[in-house]
Amino acid sequence: MASIAAARPGAIQMPPSNDFAATWAFLEEGINTIMLNLVEGMSSQRWMLLYTCVYNYCTAPSSASRMGRANMGGTNMVGGDLYVGVIGYFERRAKEIHKGAESLSDDTLLRYYATEWDRYTLGAQYVHHLFMYLNRYWVRREKDDGKRDVHTVYTLALVQWKEFMFKPVQSKGSLCNAVLKQAEKQRNGEIVDTSLLKKVADSFVLLGLRESDSRAVDLSVYDEHLERPFLQAASTYYTNESAAFLAENSVTDYMKKVEARLKEEVQRVEVYLHPSTGDKLLKRCDTVLIEAHKALLHETFQTLLDNEQREHLMRMYTLLSRVPALLQPLRDTFEAHVQRVGHQAVEKIAADGKDVDPTAYFNALLGVHSNNLGLVKECFADEAKFKAVLDRACQNFVNKNKATGTSSTKSPELLAKHADNLLKKGQKTFEEGELEIELDQLMTLFKYLSDRDVFQKFYTKNLARRLVHQQSASDDAELNMITKLKDACGYEYTSGLQRMFQDVNISKELNEEFKDLLGHRQEDAPANPIDFSVMVLTSGSWPMQPPTTKIALPTELHWYQEEFKRFYCSKKFQGRKLVYLWHLCKSEIKTNHLSQKYTFMTSAYQMSILTEFNAAERLTFQELAAATQLDDSIIKSNLVILTKSKVLLEEGGAYKVNKDFRNKKLRINLNVPIKAEQKAESTEVLKTVDEDRKLVIQATIVRIMKARKQLKHANLMQEVVQQVSSRFQPKIPVIKKEIDNLIDKEYLERAEGQKDLYSYVA
């Protein structure tokens, strides 16, 4: 017996679960309420009834879906008819919304579209949750069976919006044009509602649905209907604006304008466009704002360099770096600029035709390098390629310029002389840390030298002179410089310099022992004791040549010389031979014939000449030559110095001591370098450089061939150049000549029948 419950007044009547018409009528009323955004007024009871209605209908055992069978490809799964009903509702709703948009355009269309889009998608989300059971089971099963045109309810709503609202509006271009007009207004400085633009752009993105995966979104709709027109509009706008702006403004003002525009476009993407548009939009802007005006920008770069307008240089680099290919012309211009400025800087100090001052030369080169390195760091983002360009340019003017002429050896010589000025005692007083900075700056230019072996020879010569004459400002600074050279060129480059320091330290110990020995032999010493010290130098480590003249020493000095020889050979180093380098010796002579006692600092040759006047008041040139046994040329050059300083007077072909000699200083240096000797020394150094280079090339060839056994001529030449270029730039004819010399010495031989193939002879 069936019982019928009486309905309570005001209660909502649930439709039978097997009656589709009643069920859909009940659901459609609720869906419509939700889609009109009236869901907030819907009671939780009604919401649950709607949800339960869907659930009951889908789970009722007797509810065979005739509509499902008819319209969903023959399936009889429960829920197909509900799905068709939802399709129909969304279609009708989208058409109603489109009807309201037919007479709208521009910003009114955007506002209408955004408002309805928000209402529609929000409602669709609620409806999606309402039909959760349908989504979870019926839709999922249909999709598992390969039905690609079946979607979850929310995606289904977007599909219907796209078909019946978006496409009809967009077919006339109305929606996209409205967005483009708003963007143009914004570029013109007008205020626009970016929230509207963002909602519209987001709708374009959401409407890009993939059939294979209804929840995955692609950008096909956004790309086709918004991004492409937006990019084209931006290109057109900036093409016209840039041409008009440049016609009335400077390039520097234009670069500021471009900077501002690029920032605006970045913000535009961040505010209302999809992030994927960012790179494409900026690339379009780069093309029309920068690349299209590359010739004018490149032309202006030289002017900015000449005037050192660093702010604008940095701005230009930043802009052109957005199109990397545009930077190479800047690098080429910068390289030519640095070369030109470098040559001009040297011309200023070499214009008078006199010998170039090494320190002035160094400062000129360093000034150009430092200034342009500052440009690279500050304006060109410390870019490695700009650094390489700077290095090439510096290498160009450091090695050959107005001061060097066509010689590649002059610059190393001048830099070595500057190093001598830095490290020599009494040249300049440095504050703490200043000398270290100066040496680092010297090494900066040193790395650009192509003939580093020339620098080594002159540096070694000057170091030897500083050590012998005890003129080094600081042993620590000397060792520091050697360490820097070692780091730059390797141990072999500085091994001789380090052995020189070892000899100096050993000599100090020898002199202390010798003085102790003399302290016990005072009874045998001359009546007038002499402060006698000797530096013993290993012949192979020092760039010293034996004297070219004989010399007769004063009797007192001769005794000390013989005593040291006995001490050195008998006690310390038996079998060694001592060769005195008198041309490098220095002495101090005190005067007794004047009312004021002076101390003359002299060379050994000058000492030998002056001490002859202890026994005679007047001496002729021939008498001096016989007494001192010096070569005539050496006597002449030293007599010139002694008479010019008025220590000696020349009368009637004879020389006498100037008894009226006066000088403000009590210590007077007579041991001044002779220019002729300096030039001869420079020539001698370069001569030894050429000889050493031949040996280096021969050693390199032998080393390569020993490892390779056989090698073709071209490959051997290439490897030799590569290995020796760190020390000097070898000349091809010299390498060929040394190959022939090694063949003559039977280190190499030509392979039989192949003239360009060499074999190593073990």
CATH number at residue 262: 1.20.1310.10
Considering only CA atoms, which of 554, 615, 548, 538 is closest in space to residue 582? 548
Read off the pLDDT band of 4 (50, 70, 90): very low
**Residue 138 has what DSSP assignment?**
I
CATH number at residue 635: 3.30.230.130
Give tens-digit pLDDT for 20-41.
899 999 999 999 989 987 767 7
Q: Is residue 480 part of a domain?
A: no
Q: Is residue 31 part of a domain?
A: yes
Say yes or no: 686 and 738 in one domain: yes
Give tens-digit pLDDT for 553-579.
887 788 888 888 888 887 666 677 888
Whole-angstrom Cα distance, residue 183 to residue 77? 50
pLDDT computed for residue 8 by the predictor: 45
**Residue with tokens 């690279």, as numbered in its chain:** 376
**Residue with tokens 């440009």, as numbered in its chain:** 375
Q: 703 lies in which domain range?
A: 677-760
Which of 444-458, 558-572, 612-626 is the least confident region? 558-572
Mean pLDDT in residue range 323-338: 96
Give tens-digit pLDDT for 732-748.
888 888 888 888 888 88
Mean pLDDT in residue range 386-414: 92
The sign of the CA dihedral 483, 486, 491, 494 is negative
Say yes or no: 72 and 100 in one domain: yes
Say yes or no: 622 and 742 in one domain: no
Considering only CA atoms, which of 277, 271, 264 is closest in space to residue 224? 277
pTM to 2 decimals?
A: 0.80
pLDDT computed for residue 284 by the predictor: 96
Q: Is residue 192 part of a domain?
A: no
| Strand pairing category for 667-669 and 599-603 | parallel
Say yes or no: 168 and 38 in one domain: yes
CATH number at residue 710: 1.10.10.10
pLDDT at 401 over 60: yes
Say yes or no: 159 and 97 in one domain: yes
Q: Among 156, 172, 188, identify where a domain stops.
A: 172
Q: How many domains does the chain have?
A: 5
Contact of 295 with 235, CB cutoff 8 Å = no
Say yes or no: 55 and 137 in one domain: yes
Q: Is residue 370 part of a domain?
A: no
Say yes or no: 518 and 659 in one domain: no
pLDDT at 549 over 80: yes
Answer with the residue of higher pLDDT: 14 or 385. 385
Give tens-digit pLDDT for 642-686.
899 888 988 888 998 888 888 888 888 888 876 656 666 677 777
Say yes or no: 620 and 721 in one domain: no
What DSSP element (H or E) covers 554? none
What DSSP element (H or E) covers 602? strand 599-603
Q: Among 290, 306, 322, identify where a domain stops.
A: 306
pLDDT at 115 over 90: yes
Mean pLDDT in residue range 498-519: 86
**Residue with tokens 């034996």, as numbered in its chain:** 546
Four-point Cα dihedral 55, 57, 58, 60, nearest 10: 110
Determine the 3-state secondary structure of 230 from DSSP.
helix
Whole-angstrom Cα distance, residue 658 to residue 54? 133
What DSSP element (H or E) covers 332? helix 327-350
Answer with the residue of higher pLDDT: 16 or 297. 297
How is residue 223 written in tokens? 């790309």
Say yes or no: 91 and 139 in one domain: yes
What DSSP element (H or E) covers 560? helix 555-566
pLDDT computed for residue 573 by the predictor: 67
The sign of the CA dihedral 187, 188, 191, 195 is negative
Whole-angstrom Cα distance, residue 307 to residue 675? 43
CATH number at residue 528: 4.10.1030.10
Considering only CA atoms, which of 614, 509, 519 is closest in space to residue 563? 519
The sign of the CA dihedral 133, 135, 137, 139 is positive
Convert 39-63 into a string of H (helix), E (strand) and C (coil).
HHHCCHHHHHHHHHHHHHHHHCCCC
Long-range contacts of 515-522 (CB under 8 A, 24+ apart): 517/563, 517/567, 518/563, 521/563
Q: Is residue 318 part of a domain?
A: no
Which of 2-16, 327-341, 455-469, 550-564 is the least confident region? 2-16
DSSP string, 688-699: HHHHHHHHHHHH
Considering only CA atoms, which of 171, 109, 135 is closest in space to residue 51? 135
Considering only CA atoms, which of 418, 419, 423, 400 is closest in space to residue 410? 400
Give tens-digit pLDDT for 169-189.
988 878 999 999 999 999 999
Top mean pLDDT of 329-338, 348-357, 461-470, 625-634 is at: 329-338
Give tens-digit pLDDT for 133-144.
999 989 888 888
Q: Is residue 643 part of a domain?
A: yes
Say yes or no: 737 and 622 in one domain: no
**Residue 672 has what DSSP assignment?**
P
Which of 200-214, 398-412, 701-715 is the least confident region? 200-214
Read off the pLDDT band of 522 (50, 70, 90): low
How is residue 270 written in tokens? 């961040």
Say yes or no: 606 and 730 in one domain: no
Average pLDDT value over all residues in the chain = 87
Q: Is residue 696 part of a domain?
A: yes
Instruction: Provide the β-strand partners of residue 648.
Output: 657
pLDDT at 213 over 60: no
**Radius of gyration from C-alpha coordinates of the chain:** 49
pLDDT computed for residue 560 by the predictor: 83
What DSSP element (H or E) covers 197? helix 194-206
Residue type (1 letter), 143:
K
Say yes or no: 645 and 684 in one domain: no
How is residue 721 written in tokens? 């150049």
Q: Among 582, 612, 628, identify where a domain stops.
A: 582
Q: Is residue 246 part of a domain?
A: yes
